Structures are given as C-alpha cells and as structure tokens.
Amino acid sequence: MWSGSWVEGRTGIGVESAADSAVPMPDMVGLALRRNPRRAHLLVSTVLGKHVPTDPRIVYWSARLLGAMVADVLAGRRPDAAGAADALATALGGRGTGPLIRHCEEHVRVDFSPANTLVLGYAETATALGHAVADTLGADYLHSTRRRVPGVAEAGGFDEEHSHATRHLLLPQDTAMLERPGPLVLVDDELSTGRTVLNTIATLHTKLPRSRYVVASLVDLRSDADKAAMSAAAERLGTRIDVVALARGALRSHPHSADHAAALVAEHAAETRTRPPTPDRPHGAVRRSRAGWPGIVRDGGRHGFSPADRAEAERAAAAAGCILAGELSGDRALVLGFEELMYAPLLVALALSRESAAEVRFSTTTRSPVLPVDASGYAIRTALAFPAHDDPADGPGPRYAYNVAPSAGAPGFTDVVVVVDSAGDTAELHADGGLLDQLAEVCGHVHLVAVPAYTPVPAQARAAGTGR
C-alpha cells in the first residue's frame, strides 16, 4: 500500500509522475499532514533517512545516484534515467542494494574538473544528501545551518518561505569557497516551487556572478509557472540554471483539500491528547557508547568539507561501527542522527551495517511538526516529542523523532544508537522527558555517541600552524 493513500483518500491531496520522471513519484514519497498553517501536507521521502527509518545503503546510494545525474549534466550528457529507475526500484522493493551500488559505481563519470565546483546543501533535511552528491563529484561541500557559532561570521543567508523555520545561515570557515567562479550545485530533498533556490541564487549571485548553477533534488514538483519563473530568473541574472531530479511530477489537490486536512489534524490531535496511556513497560537502559570520534575530524559541512575530510570521516565512522557492533543487544538497530547532523551518523550506520548481522536502519530527529496517525497508508505512524537540546539561532522549541516508537503490532528496535554532536550533548538531552528518556520508553537499549562539534580555528591560529 502506498504510504500516501490515507491522506489522498481523505483530502484529495496526491502525487503523480511526469512522463520524463526517472523514478515513479509514489516510489519516492509518501504523505502526512503537517501542523503548519503555511502548508497542509508533508512529502515524506522513502530514501532520505529523515522521518522514516531506512536502510542506510538506500539513503546513501540514492543520493549518490542523484550525484551521478549532476555529473552527467555538468559534462553535457543525458542522465541514464532508465538504469537509475531499475536500480532504485530493486532496492526500494527489498530485493537488495547491490544493483543500486553497482549502477552508481559503473555509470558515474566525473570527466570535468571538480576543482572549482562547490556543492551547497540545505538544512536540515538535505545535509547528508548534499554530502553524498559532493562525494560523487569529488567536490568541496558546504551546508546551510540554523545554529549560530560563536566566532564565526555569517557569509550569507537566505529564507525558506514555506518552512516553519525559515532562516538559513552560511558559516564557511573560509569564505573564499563561496568566491570560486565554477559551477554551484544546490542540493535539496524537495523542489516544490523553487523559490528557496532562487532566493539562494539571488543572494550569492550578487556577491559573485556565476555562469552556471545546477539544482539537484530527489523530487521536483514545480508547476509550469514555477519552471517559467526559474527560467526568467536565469535570463535576468545572465546565467544558466539546470535542474536534475530522481522523480518529477505534480501534487494533486482540490479546492477543499486544505480544509479537509485542517479538520483531520484537529480531529486526530484531539485523539492523541485523550488516548489512554499504554501499559507500563520496563524503562530501557541508556549508556554512553565506547565509540568515539576524533576531535580533529570534521563532523559535517556546516563550516565546509573537502574530499580529504570525507576520507577522515569514513575512517572515524568505520572505527565507531566496529565498536558499536560489539555493543548491540539485539537484531534490529536504529542509528538516529540529530537534526542537521546527518552525514556522520549516516556513515556510522553504513559502517554498523557492514560490521553487524543486525538489521540496521537510519533516521534523524527533526523540528518539523507532523501529525502522527497509526494507520496503514500513512507515512508517519508514531512520534516522540521532546525539548530542543542545543542552542539554535531561532531559539528553543519542541523536536521530534518519527516512526521510532513501534506502531501497533509491529516489532520495535532492540537498540537505538543516538549520534549527537557535543553542542547537543546537554543536560536537556539527558533530562526526564528529553530525547534519551523518551527513547528508553520504547527501546530496551539506547547507546549514546557524542561527536565533537567542529569549530573553526581563527585565521591567525591557522597561520601559526595550530589548527586546520
């Protein structure tokens, strides 16, 4: 059953594939309802590893597949859509990730100079997605952030108009990475109108006009009017903007869809508040894992990330995976990342899947308020809510982990490996009602891995040879 059928049947909101879509749109997304007046629905990706616990190999290699399409476009080739669709369909159908990995390894040709190519990913959902695209291209990477870092000046910022948390900051350690004249690849999980991308391009183009931009997204749902607006913006700026996506299509709705969605949110939110408590179960054990992460290894692209950084991060993740494999108590493990911190936890999940016989899944916490409904055909079956446990630029607020608690009649995870950075390893994380406490209510064994948050060394210290 499609994981958007519950919403479609009750609101009329649905998705359809375009004729030139590499992958059918329903294979890529399900649907849920949002507690957000700006937009009633949420497209829930089946491959992103954000709201739905997913095989980490599917998460990473789907992103590499998108990177392969970017490489083709930059080299002037037509992407291999048919081969991509077959390989991804095999993985999503539970028939193994081998064909997907082989397709990426055998069909990726990066026969252009990546030296001046920069990849920019969007927080919070597309940080690991952008990393994997940069991995494919062998390019440097930067992602936006909503966390201010003392001592690091903003090199730019832009707004995401439909989001509940709209402001993005750019905090590269070396602002020169934004001043390269080569192509800029902008990576997001969803292209709904293209306005966020155009806001980004407009901001950066005023600082350094570029001749080429490539927009890469898992799904492209722009209307004809949205596509015309992007073409007009490119002409106005005197630049070229290409768009690649694994799936292309459209969102369907009718004039009363938003009203139906709002009524459903109100109805099911009330049910959630009045639902009787579940029977008591033993509180799980929370332990700090022996797995670590060297302080000199960057945890992600908030301040910039190079191919050399990737190699170091993979080595750190491999070591952590070996240790965690010996600490697992059972055969169903979830590696849970922390909002923007997606890439390092994903690498850890990949390493754990190699080292352990357990079934390993990957997802991350989020700030997106989504209505959970434990029903077939709905993408967000369960939710854990807990207070923020870092210091984001837009202030504190509730955070969520979706589909981590088991739905009715489903087996739960035997182990949850929580990967946070040091900025998120706070008293709030460990408090009653905090994330760790909430996880221990639904899982017998919770393992905490704290990754040192990379903080840029001041330029004068780097010049003196005391830091990177």
In a 13 Å sphere around the CA of 408, the CA atoms on its Cβ side amount to 6
Query: What are the pLDDT digits (tens) for 84-107?
Result: 788 888 898 888 899 999 888 887
Across 306-319, average pLDDT? 97
How many Cβ atoms sit within 10 Å of the Cβ of residue 317? 25
| Closest C-alpha among 142, 199, 196 to residue 173 | 142
DSSP 128-154: HHHHHHHHHHT-EEEE-BS---TT---
Strand 383-387 and strand 398-402: the pairing is: antiparallel
Provide the pLDDT for residue 245.
96
Provide the pLDDT for residue 268.
87
Chain centroid, CA 19 distance in Å: 27
The β-bridge partners of 43 are 31
Q: For the chain, what is the mean pLDDT? A: 90
Is residue 252 within 8 Å of residue 12, measured between CB atoms? yes
Percent of the chain with pLDDT over 90: 72
How many Cβ atoms sit within 10 Å of the Cβ of residue 99? 17
The confidence band for 78, taking pLDDT boundaries of 50, 70 and 90, is confident
The confidence band for 162, taking pLDDT boundaries of 50, 70 and 90, is low
Provide the pLDDT for residue 77.
87
| Closest C-alpha among 415, 405, 421, 440 to residue 356 | 415
Across 197-202, average pLDDT? 94
Q: What is the pTM of this model?
A: 0.94
Query: What are the pLDDT digits (tens) for 278-289?
Result: 556 688 999 999
Query: What are the pLDDT digits (tens) for 385-417?
Result: 999 999 776 778 899 999 999 998 899 999 999
Rounded to 10 degrees, the C-alpha dihedral 385/390/395/399 comes to: -10
46-55, 151-160, 166-175, 216-225, range with the lowest pLDDT: 151-160
Provide the pLDDT for residue 279.
54
- pLDDT of 158 > 90? The answer is no
Q: For the range 275-284, what are the long-range contacts, defined as Cβ-Cβ under 8 Å and sequence gap of 24 or more?
A: 281/441, 282/444, 283/440, 283/441, 284/439, 284/440, 284/441, 284/442, 284/443, 284/444, 284/445, 284/446
- pLDDT of 467 > 90? The answer is no
Provide the pLDDT for residue 232.
98
Provide the pLDDT for residue 458.
58
Is residue 169 within 8 Å of residue 329, measured between CB atoms? no
- pLDDT of 181 > 70? The answer is yes
